[in-house]
């Protein structure tokens, strides 16, 4: 049973996460990070409204709100995960395939965003078929205590709302993360900082923090998928009835906006946005040129630099 202290505590956490997401949107000009903050903010806003109007247990809440809430909850969770993978892909492409990155990413970006948003919506819309189009009986609704998940009780409903369909992106993100860190381990730190700040328009430290954060999310998603399948099988067999609860997974998700703010922002970046002076100006770059095509002169310099490094390695 959820007591008042737990409900108030989780409300405060969601509020802090919402503030963290909004601050991330304000302090970042990085389009991918801004999109991540925007999508994640909808999740916390919805959960704050849930607690204000119906309480955490959502007692006597209308069924339409339960279905809408479950859609937004699973959609924002899975879309945030996909965007986290996308951030890793873009950093990977900028470092490993700079020519393709500079020539094509600006053109492909709107289509990539559209794919991410539509792809995750498809599975959640399918998940609404039984509760919305077929409908649940009043008896079924009255004896259920999982309004926040749309009164799901079938294995396929657990799977459609899980991270299963993000697995291809998660695996690629983990592989890309490994390649990025390998490059970090063999490349000159000075040259690497120059590459990151020039190509990605982001400080070296902040880019590494973002990669770590997004990589951790990808790994955690596999554990969440395992739990969803186990719980779905138990519900399908009638061995488990899902109820509203505040578990470890829920608390971590509630803190997501706080984590996003910590890992995707830097103190120098915030100072510059507020008009304050930054001493180490070389470590922070405005993101307004993030992912803009690079000049041919830059690539000529890069080719020369890479050839020089290869020559030195042979010696």
Topology (CATH level 3) of domain 4-314? Rhopdopsin 7-helix transmembrane proteins (1.20.1070)
Give pLDDT < 50 ranges for the chain.
Answer: 282-300, 302-315
The reported pLDDT for the residue numbered 293 is 40
Supply the pTM of this predicted model.
0.87
Task: Give domain limits for the chain.
Answer: 4-314
Residues near 61 by Cβ (< 8 Å), separated by ≥ 6? Answer: 50, 53, 54, 147
Two structure tokens written together for 168? 């291809």
Residues near 162 by Cβ (< 8 Å), separated by ≥ 6? Answer: 224, 225, 228, 229
The reported pLDDT for the residue numbered 291 is 40
SS3 145: strand
Taking the C-alpha atoms of residue 21 and residue 259, their distance in angstroms, rounded to an integer, is 9
The reported pLDDT for the residue numbered 201 is 66
What DSSP string runs through 193-249?
HHHHHHHT-S-HHHHHHHHHHHHHHHHHHHHHHHHHHHHHHHHHTTS---B----HH
Count of residues for the chain? Answer: 315
pLDDT digits (tens, 9 = 90+) for 12-65: 999 999 999 999 999 987 889 999 999 999 999 999 999 999 999 998 899 999
The reported pLDDT for the residue numbered 311 is 41
Two structure tokens written together for 289? 């040129």
The reported pLDDT for the residue numbered 286 is 45
Q: HSE-up of 245 (CA within 13 Å, CB side)?
A: 6
The reported pLDDT for the residue numbered 295 is 44
């Amino acid at each position: 049973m959820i007591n008042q202290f737990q409900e108030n505590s989780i409300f405060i956490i969601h509020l802090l996460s919402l503030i963290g997401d909004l601050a991330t949107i304000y302090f970042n000009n990085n389009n991918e990070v801004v999109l991540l903050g925007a999508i994640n903010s909808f999740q916390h806003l919805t959960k704050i409204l849930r607690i204000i109007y119906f309480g955490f247990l959502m007692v006597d809440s209308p069924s339409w709100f339960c279905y809408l809430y479950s859609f937004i909850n699973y959609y924002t969770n899975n879309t945030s995960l996909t965007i986290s993978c996308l951030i890793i892909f873009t950093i990977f492409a900028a470092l490993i395939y700079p020519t393709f990155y500079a020539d094509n990413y600006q053109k492909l970006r709107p289509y990539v965003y559209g794919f991410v948003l539509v792809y995750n919506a498809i599975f959640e819309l399918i998940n609404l078929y039984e509760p919305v189009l077929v409908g649940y009986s009043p008896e079924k609704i009255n004896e259920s205590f999982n309004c926040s998940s749309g009164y799901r009780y079938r294995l396929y409903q657990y799977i459609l709302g899980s991270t299963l369909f993000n697995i291809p992106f998660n695996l690629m993100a983990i592989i890309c993360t490994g390649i990025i860190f390998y490059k970090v381990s063999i490349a000159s730190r000075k040259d690497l900082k120059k590459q990151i700040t020039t190509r990605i328009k982001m400080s070296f430290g902040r880019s590494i923090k973002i990669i770590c954060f997004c990589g951790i999310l990808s790994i955690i998603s596999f554990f969440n998928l395992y739990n969803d399948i186990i719980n779905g099988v138990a519900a399908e067999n009638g061995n488990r009835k899902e109820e509203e609860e505040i578990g470890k997974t829920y608390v971590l998700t509630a803190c997501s906006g706080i984590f996003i703010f910590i890992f995707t922002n830097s103190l120098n970046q915030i100072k510059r946005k507020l008009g304050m002076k930054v001493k180490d100006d070389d470590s922070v770059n405005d993101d307004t040129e993030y992912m803009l095509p690079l000049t041919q002169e830059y690539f000529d310099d890069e080719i020369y630099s890479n050839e020089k490094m290869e020559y030195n390695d042979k010696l």
